[in-house]
């Protein structure tokens, strides 16, 4: 049952091969069996079985929605009414969300069953899931390795078949990088495509939610539910949502693929480069034409990102003050002591680093040199993409500089950790949609292929990913012990 | 570009963020390294480039000034650390 696609699961439910309660129980027992991965922060088994029972009634009555009775899991960054929403932090360890996020509401309306809340880097700040207050998540392909981050629990759960699909969020690569390291399919939509309402904010001009699944076809079904205008999100895009599954099989004849030469420089691991070349050759067989393009300002994406993200983080996280919700220190002496100790005791080291960095970058006398400069660099990077998309339909490249690294390998050096996002963060600065799909293995660990499209081209990206997955079987590989 | 222990303590106070005395040196090193990375941007001439604050250069959307939410004070305050008579409680500010 746990190797079925979303379409197969829906068919099984509709033809009464199995009930939603049976399906949900099967997944709950797999979650229990593989607790050692630490993919979940909260398993909402009671709620899940209650939702499954309702789904079975709807299925019997013949008024089922697209995902009725299908279990999914939510990244613990999305607020869920009545269920703990921790965002991977001690700060929100006692936070029972008083409302549902826009994304959660949409899944509820579509009839989905929520298995639980997935582990993540604290406040989505990390590239390895090691900054979580709830401990590191293990990569199902090699349990001594990280799953990537920040949506590490989502990627590990989907790869290990603990959930058929999950949600993630991507501020600098947090859907695509763990998808690559765990060998699954992840899609970061265009900024504004998916509602940010109730999605705990890290860097508001970069944050975007999206689907994490085992195939492009499944990701299309999830995105169909997630995408659309939300008046409660002030930057939500009021743009029509196409049928993402309708064009999955369209021909790639004449597709113009751009290869940014800066993505294939000497710093890229040789065996990863070879894996990607093979994927690109596969696309040529499918009728695509490959053109080299140049994006001269990409090398400044990391510094620009860390200024902007830290600045927005320091501002967003000022809401955690120990007054209205979340952690409060014991016996505060006065109001200042209450703020300083509540925040000091409940935030982890990486979150503190980014708050300090952002506070510094925004402080008097440094604003122009850091924040303003970063926003100008952001414009130049975005212009690089616009120039490329005047020539080509999509860009292909690596998602990560290497495969999954060992737990603890990069925790001592923040700069090394930041460099894990070197290929993904420019896309967030520009606000573009992009995917990571499995493209092979190096020494038994998965390698992701990055497909980057122009604004609101998710339909085309899913089509390009799906055609590759029809021609190859990398996405069908299962980590040992999880079949 | 490097920071001093005093700089880090001053920034931490601005952010009302407690950091342990024994961690200050680590923050000095890490933040100085990150600042070094950030100063790479100085190499690029950005004179006349319009800063980009929003990826789609969107303007803030406006809506009609009408009531759209109900009062949920009791519901929202049920998760607060300390409340009384509908108010959030903090340590005494004025004697």
- Residue of A44, A174, A245, A436 marked active site: A174
- Both tokens of A332, joined, read 């505060």
Is B86's pLDDT higher than 80? yes
pLDDT of residue B1: 65
- Both tokens of A2, joined, read 């746990």
**Do A352 and A345 meet the contact criterion of CB atoms below 8 Å apart?**
no
pLDDT of residue A266: 75
Minimal CA separation from B2 to chain A, in Å: 12
CB contact under 8 A, A356 and B90: no
Residue among A324, A353, A369 whose CB faces B80 most closely:
A324
A363 as an active site residue: the answer is no
Q: Is the peptide bond preceding residue A150 cis, with omega within 30 degrees of 0? A: yes
DSSP 8-state assignment for residue B80: S
Strand order in the sheet with A40-43: A40-43, A113-118, A71-75, A166-169, A209-213, A185-188, A434-442, A445-453, A394-398, A256-260, A289-293
CB contact under 8 A, B16 and A363: no
pTM for the structure as a whole: 0.97
Instruction: Compute the average pLDDT of residues B53-73.
Output: 87
Whether A356 has its CB under 8 Å from any CB of chain B: the answer is yes
Which structural domain range is residue B29 located in? 5-40
Please give the Cα distance from A468 to A466 (Å, whole number). Answer: 5
Residue among B51, B82, B91 whose CB faces A372 most closely:
B51
DSSP 8-state assignment for residue B50: P
* Centroid of chain to Cα A111: 22
CB contact under 8 A, B15 and A94: no
Whether B93 has its CB under 8 Å from any CB of chain A: the answer is yes
DSSP 8-state assignment for residue A18: S
pLDDT tens-digit map of A223-276? 999 999 999 999 999 999 999 999 999 999 999 999 999 999 877 889 999 999
Residue contacts between A and B (CB atoms, under 8 Å): 163
pLDDT of residue A420: 85
Name the residue with tokens 């340590």: B91
Please give the Cα distance from A221 to A331 (Å, whole number). Answer: 50
Instruction: Give A430's contacts in chain B (Cβ within 8 Å).
Output: 55
A204 as an active site residue: the answer is no
Minimal CA separation from A308 to chain B, in Å: 9
**Do A44 and A86 meet the contact criterion of CB atoms below 8 Å apart?**
no
**Do A389 and B60 meet the contact criterion of CB atoms below 8 Å apart?**
no
Q: Is residue B23 domain-resident?
A: yes
Select from A92, A100, A336, A373 the residue whose CB has the most chain B CBs within 10 Å, as the one to mutate to test that interface. Answer: A373
In chain B, residues 72-91 whose CB comes closer than 8 Å to chain A: 72, 75-76, 78-82, 88, 90-91
Whether A53 has its CB under 8 Å from any CB of chain B: the answer is no
**Do A332 and A341 meet the contact criterion of CB atoms below 8 Å apart?**
yes
Angle at which helix B5-14 crosses helix A349-362, to 10 degrees, equals 90
Q: Is residue B85 domain-resident?
A: no
Whether A241 has its CB under 8 Å from any CB of chain B: the answer is no
Q: How many helices (H) and strands (E) does chain A have?
A: 16, 11
pLDDT of residue A8: 96
Instruction: Compute the average pLDDT of residues B62-86.
Output: 94
- Please give the helix or strand (H or E) that residue A471 lies within, else none: helix A458-471
Domain parsing of chain A, residue ranges = 6-254+394-476, 299-373
HEC profile of A405-466: CECCCCCCCHHHHHHHHCCCHHHHHHCCCEEEEEEEEECCEEEEEEEEECCCCHHHHHHHHH
CB contact under 8 A, A235 and B12: no
pLDDT of residue B62: 87
DSSP 8-state assignment for residue A235: T
- A185 pairs with which residues across the strands? A213
Residue among A323, A359, A369 whose CB faces B90 most closely:
A323
A174 as an active site residue: the answer is yes
pLDDT of residue A364: 84
CB contact under 8 A, B55 and A430: yes
Q: Is residue B21 domain-resident?
A: yes
Q: Is residue B22 domain-resident?
A: yes
pLDDT of residue A65: 85
Q: Is residue B28 domain-resident?
A: yes
HEC profile of A330-359: CCCCCHHHHHHHHHHHHCCHHHHHHHHHHH
Q: What is the CATH number of domain A6-254+394-476?
A: 3.90.1300.10
Q: What's the distance, Cα to Cα, between the start and end of chain B in Å?
A: 44
Tell me what percent of the residues of chain B surpass a pLDDT of 70: 98
Please give the Cα distance from B73 to B79 (Å, whole number). Answer: 11
**Cα-Cα-Cα-Cα dihedral of A245, A246, A247, A249, to 10°?**
80
Q: Is residue B84 domain-resident?
A: no
Instruction: Give A297's contacts in chain B (Cβ within 8 Å).
Output: 44
Whether A304 has its CB under 8 Å from any CB of chain B: the answer is yes
Q: Is residue B19 domain-resident?
A: yes
Number of domains in chain B: 1
Please give the Cα distance from B69 to A108 (Å, whole number). Answer: 21
- Residue of A75, A188, A410, A445 marked active site: A75
- Residue of A20, A128, A150, A151 marked active site: A150
Other CB atoms within 10 A of residue A33 CB: 12
SS3 content of chain B, % helix, strand, coil (to 5): 40, 5, 55
Could you report the average pLDDT of every consecutive run of 10 residues in chain A (483 residues)? 95 96 98 98 98 97 93 98 98 97 98 98 97 98 98 98 98 98 98 98 97 98 98 94 98 98 88 96 98 95 96 98 97 96 98 97 90 96 97 97 96 88 96 98 98 98 98 98 94
DSSP 8-state assignment for residue B87: E
Q: Is residue B72 domain-resident?
A: no
Angle at which helix A458-471 crosses helix A270-285, to 10 degrees, equals 90
**Do A211 and A227 meet the contact criterion of CB atoms below 8 Å apart?**
no
Whether A319 has its CB under 8 Å from any CB of chain B: the answer is no
- Both tokens of A259, joined, read 């290869």
């Amino acid at each position: 049952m746990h190797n079925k696609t979303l379409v197969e699961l829906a068919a099984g439910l509709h033809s009464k091969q199995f009930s939603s309660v049976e399906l949900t129980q099967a997944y709950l027992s797999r979650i229990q069996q593989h607790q050692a991965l630490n993919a979940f922060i909260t398993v909402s088994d009671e709620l899940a079985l209650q939702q499954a029972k309702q789904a079975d009634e709807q299925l019997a009555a013949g008024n089922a929605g697209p995902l009725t009775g299908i279990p999914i899991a939510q990244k613990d960054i999305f607020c869920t009414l009545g269920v703990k929403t921790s965002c991977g932090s001690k700060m929100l360890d006692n936070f029972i969300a008083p409302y549902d996020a826009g994304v959660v509401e949409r899944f509820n309306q579509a009839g989905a069953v929520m298995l639980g809340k997935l582990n993540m880097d604290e406040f989505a700040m990390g590239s390895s899931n090691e900054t979580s207050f709830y401990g590191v998540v293990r990569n199902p392909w090699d349990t001594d390795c990280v799953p990537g981050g920040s949506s590490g629990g989502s990627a590990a759960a989907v790869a290990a078949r603990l959930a058929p699909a999950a949600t993630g969020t991507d501020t600098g690569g947090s859907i695509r990088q763990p998808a690559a390291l765990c060998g699954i399919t992840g899609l970061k939509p265009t900024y504004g495509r998916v509602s940010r309402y109730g999605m705990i904010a890290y860097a508001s001009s970069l944050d975007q939610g999206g689907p994490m699944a085992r195939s492009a076809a499944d990701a299309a079904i999830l995105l169909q539910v997630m995408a659309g205008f939300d008046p409660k999100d002030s930057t939500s895009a009021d743009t029509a949502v196409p049928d993402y599954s309708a064009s999955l099989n369209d021909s790639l004849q004449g597709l113009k693929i751009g290869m940014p030469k800066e993505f294939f420089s000497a710093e890229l691991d040789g065996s990863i480069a070879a894996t990607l070349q093979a994927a690109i050759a596969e696309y040529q067989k499918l009728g695509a034409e490959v053109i080299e393009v140049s994006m001269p300002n990409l090398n400044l994406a990391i510094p620009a990102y860390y200024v902007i993200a830290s600045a927005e983080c320091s501002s967003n996280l000022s809401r955690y003050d120990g007054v209205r919700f979340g952690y409060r220190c014991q016996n505060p002496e006065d109001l200042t002591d209450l703020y300083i100790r509540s925040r000091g005791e409940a935030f982890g080291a990486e979150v503190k680093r980014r708050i300090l960095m952002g506070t510094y970058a925004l402080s008097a006398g440094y604003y122009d040199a850091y924040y303003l400069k970063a926003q100008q660099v952001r414009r130049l990077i975005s212009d690089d993409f616009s120039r490329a998309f005047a020539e080509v339909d999509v860009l292909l490249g690596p998602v990560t500089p290497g495969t999954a690294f060992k737990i603890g390998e990069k925790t001592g050096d923040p700069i090394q950790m930041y460099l894990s996002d070197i290929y993904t963060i420019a896309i967030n600065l520009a606000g573009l949609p992009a995917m990571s799909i499995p493209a092979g293995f190096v020494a038994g660990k998965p390698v992701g292929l990055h497909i980057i499209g122009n604004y609101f081209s998710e339909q085309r990206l899913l089509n390009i990913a799906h055609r590759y997955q029809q021609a190859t079987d990398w996405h069908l590989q299962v980590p040992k012990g999880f079949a | 570009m490097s920071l001093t222990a005093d700089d880090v303590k001053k920034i931490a106070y601005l952010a009302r963020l407690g950091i342990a005395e024994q961690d200050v040196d680590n923050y000095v090193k890490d933040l100085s390294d990150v600042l070094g990375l950030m100063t790479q941007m100085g190499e690029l001439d950005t004179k006349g480039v319009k800063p980009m604050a929003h990826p789609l250069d969107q303007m803030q959307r406006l809506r009609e000034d009408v009531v759209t939410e109900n009062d949920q004070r009791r519901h929202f305050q049920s998760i607060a650390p300390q409340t009384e008579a509908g108010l959030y409680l903090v340590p005494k500010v004025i004697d």
